[in-house]
Chain A
């Protein structure tokens, strides 16, 4: 029993870290640009597939470093070409646009790499268990969690200590003032979108190493990411972080005790949060509400 609980807890933590990476990227974009990127899961898939292409040439480690950057560049370009047109319009257009974009990206993956699952090879040493007692905790899993911790720490450091990061944070609070201070808001938004895509790409490489690749691999992650954001509270990245971990672990623990409700539990958590604390765990309340 203890083994089972530990197994699921570990799973939950790892799934939770994926949620966190995905949700943080989404959250960044929502906070600064008010766009819910439906295609975020497809950026994740593309990150994974790019790693698949790169691995034979530069190995897994190289791909892990390069693929997220390429995903970020793709995000940057797509933001410049498509997304920026809808910032000033009703939110409905950004939702429909990224919704359509997600379809397109998914079909492109399917066209290039085929509809069947593909494996992403990770170094042999990584698939070994850390200890024989806990066979399911492979070095790769430990490594994934470590990478996510580094990435999240890096993101928060970027936002706190770099000029771009401080501008992104300021823009999240008061875009008009930031714009009035002479900051190039369109460029800031493109960059911010690229950072969000980077996180999705990174999550894609990590996920591919564990679960393999398929064109709709991001679909299962997008909805929990939404919920992580709603639970964590709008406008708060720390909240998103907390929300992602919370629902990941909650889903995993439910798997132990009541497997058929494992997917439902995250929605229950969301409903409870909305009922008890509508602004989310760490969200800010608007003036009028």
Chain B
């Protein structure tokens, strides 16, 4: 009885089986993906988007609070990493650290202004904050590259003194590097969710009024949850910049926020691994759409509408035993 057993976790496949399957697949990507006609960089993109959405999902799926502005923290992470590489030092770990701190701290500060809002108003304010960051990146040309995005930086090889890992030149090696970071982040998330603090997040999601009458300072917990969530999404953003050697102002836009939310929902926001599954679907969809020259918006829009109306619980939600969730 030492784990959080919510109905959402009781899928057809047992949690430890899920864990084995997922990690076996992720670790062997460079071997089987080319056979399916994919390339390893796309798997990196899946991991990055999954991490961004899993970060958001701490808030969305586990605390029950809706942010529609997480692109801001994702984008700040990307710009933080890019600017560090470009102007400060050619160090990948430093870039990751700086970007994560930039996005995470920004989220923590914005969160202070947010915690008293609820429901759609919370969402609206998060959207607006997101746009603030978008405008800054967009307008501050000479520093951020403005509309064209931030270029002119490359991820640096990892130097361990005794040996070097060339994640800059070797795509497969970089994939494993991303997977390594992803693994640590996801492990941390699991620890948080199984902690007493993590349980208070569930409590707030399940019944805010009850949580309050247990004496929980609900606002403080939502703020912390928001902050933690932003740190993870910012971390994903740093990896995104490293992946592309590019930071894109559109990565800060609310359209991106919508995409991150969609990834969580499509995969199943009431499940731990849902956002990863969502990221696989989403990146595949994105890849397909990028080959369309016209009417891609119609296609994407229709997908959104259909998912909301027909599969609101996402793919992992469908796998759960019947009658579960809401």
Contact = CB atoms under 8 A, between A and B. Distances in A.
Interface of A: 30, 34-36, 82, 85-86, 89-97, 99-108, 110-111, 223, 226-227, 229-230, 234, 260, 263-264, 267, 270-271, 274-275, 278, 286, 288-289
A99 B113 contact: no
B124 to A, nearest CB: 5
Interface in B124-150: 124-125, 127-128, 131-132, 135-136, 139
Contacts of B116: 278, 289
Given A95-B68, A227-B128, A230-B125, A101 B301 contact: yes
A107 B304 CA distance: 14
B171 interface: no
21 contacts: A35-B120, A91-B66, A95-B258, A96-B304, A96-B307, A96-B308, A97-B304, A97-B308, A100-B300, A100-B302, A101-B304, A103-B300, A104-B298, A105-B301, A223-B254, A226-B128, A230-B128, A234-B121, A260-B139, A263-B135, A274-B125
A104 B66 contact: no
B168 interface: no
Given A106-B297, A107-B298, A267-B131, 14 more contacts: A36-B124, A86-B308, A92-B123, A95-B66, A95-B120, A95-B258, A96-B308, A100-B303, A107-B295, A223-B131, A230-B121, A230-B128, A263-B135, A264-B132
Nearest to A97: B308
Nearest to B258: A99
Interface of B: 60, 64, 66, 68, 113, 116-121, 123-125, 127-128, 131-132, 135-136, 139, 212, 254, 258, 261-262, 265, 269, 294-298, 300-305, 307-309, 312, 326
Contacts of B262: 96
Residue among B118, B295, B312 with the highest chain A CB neighbour number at 10 A: B312
Nearest to A275: B113
B139 A102 contact: no
B95 to A, nearest CB: 27
A226 B254 CA distance: 13
Contact of B60 (A92, A106, A286): A92
A95 B261 contact: yes
B128 A103 contact: no
A96 B261 contact: yes
Contacts of A34: 119-120
B120 A100 contact: no
B301 A82 contact: no
Nearest to A111: B295
B304 A100 contact: yes
A107 B261 contact: no
Nearest to A102: B301
Contacts of A91: 66, 119-120, 123
Contacts of A271: 113, 132
Contacts of A96: 258, 261-262, 265, 304, 307-308
Of listed B124, B135, B139, residue having the most chain A CB within 10 A: B124
A100 B124 contact: no
A102 to B, nearest CB: 7
A93 B310 CA distance: 11
Nearest to B121: A234
B113 A100 contact: no
